[in-house]
Structure 1
Amino acid sequence: MLHGHKAEPLHLCHRLDKETTGVMVLAWEREVARQVQELFRTRQVAKKYWAITVRVPVPPAGVVDIPIIEKEVQGQQQHYKMALSPGYRMEDGKIVRARSNRNAHMAVTQYRVLSSTLSSALVELQPITGIKHQLRVHLSFGLDCPILGDHKYSNWTQLAPQKLSLGTLKKLGLHQAKARHIPLHLHAHQLILPALGSRKEELDLVCKPPRYFVCSLRRLDLEMPSQDQNGDDKAGPVRAQ
Structure 2
Amino acid sequence: MGALRVWHWVSGTWRPGFVAGVRRRDAGFGTKAGRRPQPQASSKSKDPVDDQPFPGLLRTENLGVEELVDVLKAAVVDQKGPLVTLNKPQGLPVTGMGTGRPGELTLLSVLPQLSQALGLGHRELQVVRAPGKEASGLVLLSSCPQTASRLQKFFAHSRRSQRPTATYCAITDGIPEPSEGTVSVALKLERVDGIDLAVPAASPSRKDILEGVKRTLSHFHVMATGCGCALVQLQPLTVFPSQLQVHMALQLCPVLGDHTCAARVGTVLGQRFLWPATTTKPQIQVLDEALLKRLRLSPSQVAQMPLHLHLHRLLLPGTRSRDPPSELLAPVPSYFSRTLQCLRLSQK
Same fold (TM over 0.5): yes
Query: How far has the Cα of 1:201 moved from its partner?
Result: 4.0
> Cα gap change, 1:80/1:24 in structure 2, threshold over 3 Å: closer, same or farther?
closer
Pairing 1:137-216 to 2, within 5 Å after superposition: 137-140=246-249, 142-156=250-264, 157-196=280-319, 200-216=323-339
C-alpha deviation, 1:197, in angstroms: 5.5
What is the SS of the residue equivalent to 1:48?
Answer: strand
Write the distance in 2 (CA, Å) between the matches of 1:34 and 1:46: 16
| Alpha-carbon displacement from aligned partner over 1:60-85 (angstroms, at most 9, x marks no partner) | 11111111112244xxx564310112
| Residue from 200, 207, 211 that aligns with 1:84 | 200
Shift of 1:58: 0.7
Q: Given the superposition, is the C-alpha separation of residues 30 and 158 from structure 1 closer, same or farther in structure 2, using an over 3 Å criterion?
A: same
TM-fit CA distance, 1:108: 0.7
SS at match of 2:338: helix
| 2:190 corresponds to | 71
Larger mean CA deviation between 190-199 and 51-60 belongs to 190-199
Aligned equivalent of 1:3, options 81, 95, 100: 81
Percent identity over the alignment is 28
Deviation track 1:30-70 (CA, whole Å, cap 9, x = no partner) reads: 22122212323343561111000001101111111111112
Residue aligned with 2:178, SS: coil
Matched, 1:15 2:130: yes
2:151–2:317 contact (8 Å) kept in structure 1: no
- Please give the root-mean-square deviation of Cα atoms over the aligned residues, in Å: 2.3
Who is 1:104 aligned against?
A: 213
Aligned residues, how many? 211
Which of 1-10 and 187-196 deviates more?
1-10
Counterpart amino acid of residue 48 in structure 1: T
CA distance in 2 between counterparts of 1:193 and 1:12 reads: 15
Shift of 1:198: 8.7
Change in 2 beyond 3 A, CA 1:159/1:122? same
> Deviation of residue 199 (structure 1)?
9.3
**CA separation in 1, counterparts of 2:288 and 2:157?**
41
Letter in 2 for 1:116: T
8 Å Cα contact 2:227/2:291 also seen in 1: no
The one-letter amino acid paired with 2:281 is Q
Amino acid at match of 2:341: R
Runs (4 or more) in structure 1 with deviation over 3 Å come to 4-7, 41-45, 77-80, 98-103, 196-201
Distance 2:141 2:195 in 1: 33
Query: Which residue in the other structure is 1:26 paired with?
Result: 141
Q: 1:41 to 1:198 in 2, by over 3 A?
A: closer
Q: Distance in 1 between matches of 2:202 and 2:316?
A: 32
Query: Is the alpha carbon distance of 1:199 and 1:212 closer, same or farther for their aligned partners in structure 2, counting shifts above 3 Å?
Result: farther
Please state whether the residue corresponding to 1:107 is helix, strand or coil: strand
Per the alignment, residue 222 of structure 1 pairs with 345
Is the partner of 1:23 in helix, strand or coil? strand
Runs of 5+ unmatched residues, structure 2: 1-78, 83-118, 265-279
Write the distance in 2 (CA, Å) between the matches of 1:173 and 1:54: 15
Contact 1:2 1:25 in 2 (8 A): no
Native 8 Å contact 1:107 1:129 kept in 2: yes
In structure 1, list runs of 5 or more residues that go unmatched.
88-97, 226-234, 236-241
Local SS of the residue matching 2:188: strand
For 2:184, give the aligned amino acid. Answer: D
Is the counterpart of residue 122 in structure 1 residue 231 in structure 2?
A: yes
Q: Does 1:36 align with 2:151?
A: yes
Which residue identity does 1:147 align to in structure 2?
Answer: V
Q: d(CA) in 2 for partners of 1:47 and 1:125?
A: 8
Aligned partner of residue 80 in structure 1, secondary structure? strand
Q: Report if the CA contact (8 A) 2:130-2:138 is conserved.
A: no
Give 1:118 shift.
Answer: 4.6
When normalised by structure 1's length, the TM-score is 0.79
Looking at structure 1, the residues matched to 325 and 217 of structure 2 have their Cα atoms a distance apart, in angstroms, of 24
